[in-house]
Amino acid sequence: MPLLRRVLVVAMLFAVAARAQEFSEAAPAGHLSAAALLERGLPARAEALSGAAIATRWHGLAEIETRALAAAIGVRALRIAVGASQTGETDLGWSQVALGVGGASDRGGAALRGSARRRLLAAGDDGIGGEVGAGAWVAASPDLVVWASAPQLWTRGDPPPLERWLEIGARFERPEAQLWLSRAASPGAPHGLRAEHLGGLLLPAGPAAVWIEGRDHPARGTLGLAVAAGRLRVSAAVEGHPVLGETVRMELAWGERPWW
């Protein structure tokens, strides 16, 4: 599909925003799963009943740890996911419920995702906020998947803790390795910075896989490791930052086939 590829390439050049949050998995960028449906509106390919438990420690800060549960079901082309998360125990924290609805096949998928947050405001009131976004992916060829996600197309009420705009990416998948690239806009970035870029490589090794990702502005790297047994998967990823502490993600997922 040369036309589609050209469209995606142009879209990547003009993309303006995005990076994950509560349902961000210990998985390569652009991965399709129950959590990805909630987080980015990217539905899974396969019909399955799946779920995931995710824990994230942001930049080494214990006060803003996130714990999330996600569950999804796929019936024919319909994909539905629900999830809940809690970030932080102090007055900086918030809780969230999320819903994702969409459709998918082997050739592509699209979905709407939305979430509602609640937190305690400084004034003592509850802060309620919500957001709705969308995502889509296309198998441009048997080896190439491209995706786009705009998770905060519409927001209302208490603003989200992190602005996320448009992210767009492509993945080249072969049995011996996977490569991916993405571009995400950077809201409010200084010095004329408009986007951050990400590139990654995954190497399967039987029931396990290891992946690395690199990101710019500032230069950061992620090392991930996943081990699957049947439809059970355990994965972990550590993202280093030149100034901030490390962000660590742990995930236990079931019901999905391994990505590799």
Partner 1 sequence: MLPMRIHRAPVAALLLLGHIGLARAESCAPPLHPRIAEVFYDAAGDDTGHEFVELFNSYGVTLGLTGARLEAGDGSAPGRWTLRWTGGIGDSIAPGARFVIGGALLPAPPQALVTLDLQNGPDAVRMVWPDGAVEVVGYGALEFPEYACGSPAPDVASGQSLARVPDDADGGANAFDFRAAPPSPGHANQRQRDLAWLAGSVRLAAPVVRAGTAALIQGTLENRGAESLAAGSCAWSVREAGDTLTLAGGILASSLAAAETASVAAVIHGLPEGRHRLLLAASAPGDEAAENDVDSLWVRVGLGPLQLTEIQFHPAGGEGEWVEVVNASSTPLELATFGFADRGEHPGRIAAARLEPESLAVLAQDRAALLARFPGLDSTRVLGVSPWPTLNNSDDDHHIADVASLIEAEGTFSDQVPYSAAGVAAGVPLERDFTGHWGPATVTSGTPLEPPRPRASVPGRFQIEPHRLLAGAEARLSWDLPWPRARVSCALYDLGGRPRGVVLPATEVSGRGEQRWLPSELSAGLYLLVLEARAPNGEGSLAVTRPLRVEAR
Residues within the interface to partner 1 (CB under 8 A): 19, 21, 58-61, 63-64, 91-92, 121-122, 127, 158-163, 186-190, 193, 196, 217-218, 220, 239, 241, 243-245, 247
* 25 or 158: CB nearest partner 1: 158
Nearer to partner 1, 196 or 251 (CB): 196
Q: Is 207 left (phi over 0), alpha (psi -120 to 50) or beta?
A: alpha
Measured from the CB atom, is 165 or 259 closer to partner 1? 165
Give the shortest CB-141-to-partner 1 separation in angstroms.
31
Q: Coil, helix or strand for 72?
A: strand
Q: For residues 193 and 232, which CB has a smaller minimum distance to partner 1 in the complex?
A: 193
Q: How far is the CB of 119 from partner 1 (least distance, A)?
A: 9
CB of 196 to partner 1, least distance (A): 7
Rounded CA-CA distance 203/103 in Å is 29
Q: Which residues contact 5 (CB under 8 A, 6 or more apart)?
A: 140, 144, 146
Nearer to partner 1, 229 or 243 (CB): 243
DSSP code for 188: T
Contact between residue 148 and residue 136 where contact means Cβ atoms under 8 Å apart: yes
Least separation in angstroms between CB 122 and partner 1: 4
Q: Which residue, 178 or 186, has its beta carbon nearer to partner 1?
A: 186
Q: Where are the alpha helices (DSSP H) in the chain?
A: 2-13, 34-40
Residue with tokens 């209302």: 156
From the CB of 180, what's the least distance to partner 1, in Å? 18
C-alpha 75/C-alpha 78 separation (Å) is 5
Distances (CA, A) of 47 to 37, 77, 103, 105, 148: 13, 7, 10, 9, 21
Shortest Å distance, C-beta 76 to partner 1: 35
Provide, rounded to whole angstroms, the least separation between the CB of residue 34 and partner 1.
22
Q: 22 vs 251, which CB is nearer to partner 1?
A: 22
3-state secondary structure 47-63: CCEEEEEEEEEHHHCHH
Identity of the residue numbered 89: E
